[in-house]
Amino acid sequence: MIAEIGHYALVLAFMVALVQSTVPLIGAHRGDAVMMDLARPAAMAMFLLVGVSFAALTYSYVVSDFSVVNVAENSHTDKPMLYKISGVWGNHEGSLLLWITILVTYALAVATFGRNLPPTLRARTLAVQGMITGGFLLFILYTSNPFLRLDPAPINGQGLNPLLQDPGLAFHPPMLYLGYVGFSMAFSFAVAALIEGKVDAAWARWVRPWTLLAWMFLTLGIALGSWWAYYELGWGGWWYWDPVENASFLPWLAGTALLHSAIVVEKRDALKSWTILLAIITFGLSLLGTFLVRSGIITSVHAFAADPTRGIFVLLLLAVSVGGSLMLYAVRAPELKGGGLFSPVSREGSLLLNNLLMATATATVLLGTLYPVFADALNLGKVTVGPPFFNAVFVPLMVPLIITMAIGPMMSWKRGDLKGALSRLWLAAVLSLVVFAGTWVLGGGGFDTVMVAFGLGLAAWLLVGTLVELAERIRLFRVSLGESGRRFVNLPRAAFGMTLAHAGVALVVAGVTVSSYWKEERVQVMVPGQTITVAGWDFTFQGAREVSGPNYDAIEGRFLVTRDGRQIALLTPEKRQYTSPPMPTTEAAIHTNGWADLYAVVGDPAGNGPGYVTRIYFEPLVPFLWYGALLMGLGGIVSLTDRRHRVGAPTRRSKAAAGAAARPAGA
């Protein structure tokens, strides 16, 4: 019964979606306030209906109702409750329902908080959002109904892949989807603006918080996935340039560009058609990711079961939504006229440079990800585009980006002073060179050391540059500390958010380079009592014992880690054998000292002897990746709390006009 209610609610939601995507649009065209206002109750109704549906599926998982096919195929009574719930989105159908739930949640947020939006823009935005939701509802109802029944119901379910039974991965998909789907808001705003024929500073002000929110979630979602891969897969890697990873990285790159170009629209009324295009592309890349993951068109270690029917449906959704909006763009965008003038050397100029580099990086990753598809289609043979390609082409693009990231914020609007900015960055330059030289000397030369020195030098440049910019804002050491403190407190949150996010990037840069080049690995058979030394730490294998969990049995190895005779940690990695479905997993044990991780994995017993296969890793600066991602996410949150970004805040027209004061036309 519950499942039927869930199914029925989805059908009703589709009906409402039809209303939401048409009536307000007609209303906005005719200037009919009643028809326009229908968008809000419609969005609420959609939220309730999809919410009921999602609750129904979750309930079926919680009570282990195996008469529902989806539950029977993906759950098991022995599973801990957390994974029963996360199992809801651990499969194609359920994850699609989660996607739709998030879509309608965003629409509800716009309906609720968007009271100050111009009524036509709000009506059109919600209508476009309704169209996307309608498309996805059709998708789920036609090809991926999660509420199908199974008769007779099996005694127990098939269980969830044990790799997915992990707290990190339980929250990874919702985070990621909050990001992907969040970009639908920017998309809807962009399409609404194209229909409206009007993009101005106020529009940019409305779009920015949604983009920022989506970007923040996506950043954290990607980091969470990366973190999970790092500790769960058992060899300490955190990024593989796998097509599906790229599929999440592409909207992040485009979304980051969008975040920055929207600033130029808001402040200077320029880059309008480009920003609109970016909004379409960013969500388009989110949809592309969905298509790649669910169609089986590329080989990926991730990916749901390949299903051409689903593939064709997502492709259709992609073609209609993105193709349609790009055509609308082709017709309408030429009418958008750029506003404020600025010189290449200016804040806007550096934001534009950021956009050009980000766009290049996006195109490059997209090309690498899809090249096997292109080559195959053109009968050029099967090729693999692996990490060496991406590292070779992506890194050179990031270097100028990171260099300008420190300079850009130092420049004034319209017309900056490059020399002045650089001279104020002397401290960053000096420290960066010190770090570079110090690393080179201490590292003992060689290619790896040069690369690490270069990466760390860049990171230092960005970090110090960002801090210098902050120090200048609060006039540190120029006025009294108390005055600086007051200035710090009164700092616009958006500016502080930028500082945090840019500092986060600096940490990630440091983490990426050092962990890539200075990672150490030892793979060997160890017998109890044996000690090996990795990067100065002594790992003594104390043996292994059998342990058991709720739905698995495991071998638990014990490693005593000491340094200079002092005990540091006891690491207890496990090799688990799950029962349903029967599958082994490795649970690495990680000790972090904040700078580096000590990472131990226990494998199978070697031969018949007392020894076990063990893997010990020294992972320097990997924690910086997580700190950096957290800082970026935090920067997003802080920025969101900025008065000017607060979605419910009254439109501050005077400010908007002041931002666009270069020309008389205001918002």
Partner 1 sequence: MSLSRCRSLLVAAGLALSLGLALPAAAVQPDEMLADPVLENRARDISKQLRCVVCQNENIDESNAELARDMRLLVRDRLVQGDSDGAILDYMVDRYGDYVLLEPPFKASTYALWFGPVIFVLLAALAGWAFYRNRAAAGPVAAAAGPAAGAGKPAELTAEERQRLEALLRDADRG
Partner 2 sequence: MSETSTETTPPAAPSQGMTWGRRLIFIAPTLVFLVLIGFFLKQLGENPAELPSVLIDRPVPEFALDPLPGRGMPLRSDDLKGEVSLVNIFGSWCVACQVEHPYLMKLQASGYVPIHGIDWREKDPMDGLRWLQRYGDPYTRVGLDPDSRIAIAFGVTGAPETFVVDKQGVIRYKHIGPLTPEVFEKTLKPLIEELRK
**How long a stretch of residues is the chain?**
667
Among 33, 82, 301, 373, binds partner 2 (CB under 8 A): 373
334 vs 607 by CB, closer to partner 2: 334
- Output the CA angle 123-124-125, nearest 5 degrees: 95
29 vs 655 by CB, closer to partner 2: 29
297 lies in the binding site for partner 2 (CB under 8 A): yes
Residue type, 303: A
291 vs 559 by CB, closer to partner 2: 291
Among 49, 293, 322, 638, binds partner 1 (CB under 8 A): 293
| Residue 555 neighbours by CB under 8 Å, 6+ apart | 544, 545, 546, 547, 574, 575, 602, 605, 612
- Site residues for partner 2, window 306-335 (CB under 8 A)? 306, 308, 311-312, 315, 318-319, 322-323, 326-327, 329-330, 332-335
- Site residues for partner 1, window 44-103 (CB under 8 A)? 74, 89-92, 95
Q: Which two tokens stand for residue 232?
A: 């769960």
How far is it, in rounded angstroms, from Cα 616 to Cα 589? 10
| Residue 569 neighbours by CB under 8 Å, 6+ apart | 561, 591, 598
339 vs 455 by CB, closer to partner 2: 339
387 lies in the binding site for partner 1 (CB under 8 A): yes
661 lies in the binding site for partner 2 (CB under 8 A): no
97 lies in the binding site for partner 2 (CB under 8 A): no
Among 24, 134, 173, 179, binds partner 1 (CB under 8 A): 173
581 lies in the binding site for partner 2 (CB under 8 A): no
Burial 322-332 (b: 16+ CB within 10 A, else e): beebeebbeeb
Contact partner, 603, from partner 1, partner 2, none, Cβ < 5-8 Å per class: partner 1
Contact partner, 8, from partner 2, partner 1, none, Cβ < 5-8 Å per class: none
128 lies in the binding site for partner 2 (CB under 8 A): no
Size of the site for partner 1 (CB under 8 A): 104
335 vs 521 by CB, closer to partner 2: 335
109 lies in the binding site for partner 2 (CB under 8 A): no
**Looking at 76-84, 296-304, 506-514, 638-646, which segment touches partner 2 (CB under 8 A)?**
296-304
Q: Helix, strand or coil for residue 183?
A: helix
Report which secondary-structure segment, H or E, holds 2: helix 2-30
302 lies in the binding site for partner 1 (CB under 8 A): yes
Least separation, in Å, of the C-beta of 651 and partner 2? 16
491 vs 534 by CB, closer to partner 1: 534
Candidates 242, 249, 285; CA nearest to 372 is 242
Contact partner, 375, from partner 1, partner 2, none, Cβ < 5-8 Å per class: partner 1
Neighbours of 653 (CB within 10 A): 12
| Residue 247 neighbours by CB under 8 Å, 6+ apart | 285, 288, 289, 292, 293, 369
Contact partner, 581, from partner 2, partner 1, none, Cβ < 5-8 Å per class: partner 1
Report which secondary-structure segment, H or E, holds 5: helix 2-30
571 lies in the binding site for partner 1 (CB under 8 A): no
Question: CB–CB of 635/507 below 8 Å?
Answer: no
Binding mask 346-365 for partner 1 (x = CB under 8 A): ------xx--xx-xx--xx-
199 lies in the binding site for partner 2 (CB under 8 A): yes
154 lies in the binding site for partner 2 (CB under 8 A): no
200 vs 642 by CB, closer to partner 1: 200
**Looking at 28-36, 113-121, 230-238, 258-266, which segment touches partner 1 (CB under 8 A)?**
230-238
Candidates 493, 372, 509; CA nearest to 432 is 509
3-class SS string, 558-577: EEEEEECCEEEEEECCEEEE
| Residue 103 neighbours by CB under 8 Å, 6+ apart | 129, 132, 133, 136, 181, 184
Least separation, in Å, of the C-beta of 250 and partner 1? 10
- Output the CA angle 530-532-534, nearest 5 degrees: 160
